Amino acid sequence: MKVAVVGATGLVGSKMLQVLEERRFPVTQLIPVASERSVGKFVRFGGKRHRVIGMQEAIALRPDLALFSAGGSTSKTWAPAFAEVGTIVVDNSSAWRMEPDKKLVVPEVNAHVLTEHDRIIANPNCSTIQMVVALKPLHDRYRIRRIVVSTYQAVTGTGVKAVQQLMGERRGKNVEQPAYPHPIDLNVLPHIDIFLDNGYTKEEMKMVLETKKIMGDDSIRVTATTVRVPVLGGHSEAVNVEFERNFDLDEVRQLLRQAPGVVLIDDPAHNQYPMPLYAQDKDEVFVGRLRRDESQPNTLNLWVVADNLRKGAATNAIQIAEYLTQRGILKPNAAKPN
């Protein structure tokens, strides 16, 4: 299968290459793609060096699959061009997520919505992905009424410049062109993406709107506060979820143990709970600190952690491609001939 990775030299693009290899996705020809300033560079995949090429050259090769992680404006411009030659595009940006005719997919939650007609598929926001993976089995059983979520998001969610800022500050150096408007080391910033007219950030509203679309339920009420913390890899979330029906904590634990893609770590007596340090380089969503909200009925508190570059981005995109392959929707030489 001919697979293009668009944005192959970035943090998420590099992780996509790693995950493709680890999961043994059937890549027969890798097509690494990046902006003009990166054309001619090389990336490693399958024990070989592969030359990075530009968009037009990649489209001419008519890949079967294109994994995009190159920003919203790039995706808006180029994803349709790939789709026109028959390529299935899985896009990691926010460009297509809320388009009514584009599917927004987390395989453990709503892969069933995908059809052979989908040529551009949206990969959700990293913080949304891990939350809905954890909540889907609980929603199926108890029906969610309202979610209150606060996130603690790693600097890798911003990109290379943010990592350089954090590590530079940690070494006591002044950082030129910092990623954030304030120091991030020994600090937290209640500010992810731009502020909107309603006082929320774009990241917070992504969680609100994407959760409803992925779960297929506009009646779920969601409110979010998203925070950047001085952590390299792994997003954490404190989630307070109100259900329509009462729940039993032992049953909740059992549902989570059986849920695809979820690992339950919930033994506070032995200091066992999810942490980003131990979620790094793993594909699962880790859940713990389960406890009943004693301030109102039918409400649960839980703590959710996942690697934002893997399950929050690269792995979820590749799992979408795996599902399409298993269903026979994505197959070698599927792109239209000249």
Residues recognised as catalytic: 126, 235
Place of tokens 């192959």: 8
Please give, one letter per residue, the 3-state secondary structure of 166-225.
HHHHHCCCCCCCCCCCCCCCCCCECCCCCECCCCCEHHHHHHHHHHHHHHCCCCCEEEEE
d(CA 335, CA 36): 25
Helix locations, the chain, DSSP H: 11-22, 55-60, 72-84, 107-110, 126-142, 160-170, 202-215, 249-258, 276-279, 315-326
- Tokens at residue 336, please? 């239209």
- Tokens at residue 96, please? 């297509």
d(CA 306, CA 316): 12
Assign 3-state DSSP to the chain and report helix, strand, coil percentages, each to 5: 35, 25, 40
Task: Put residue 281 in one of left, alpha, beta given phi > 0 → left and psi -120 to 50 → alpha.
Answer: left
d(CA 239, CA 290): 10
d(CA 133, CA 128): 9
- Tokens at residue 305, please? 């952690």
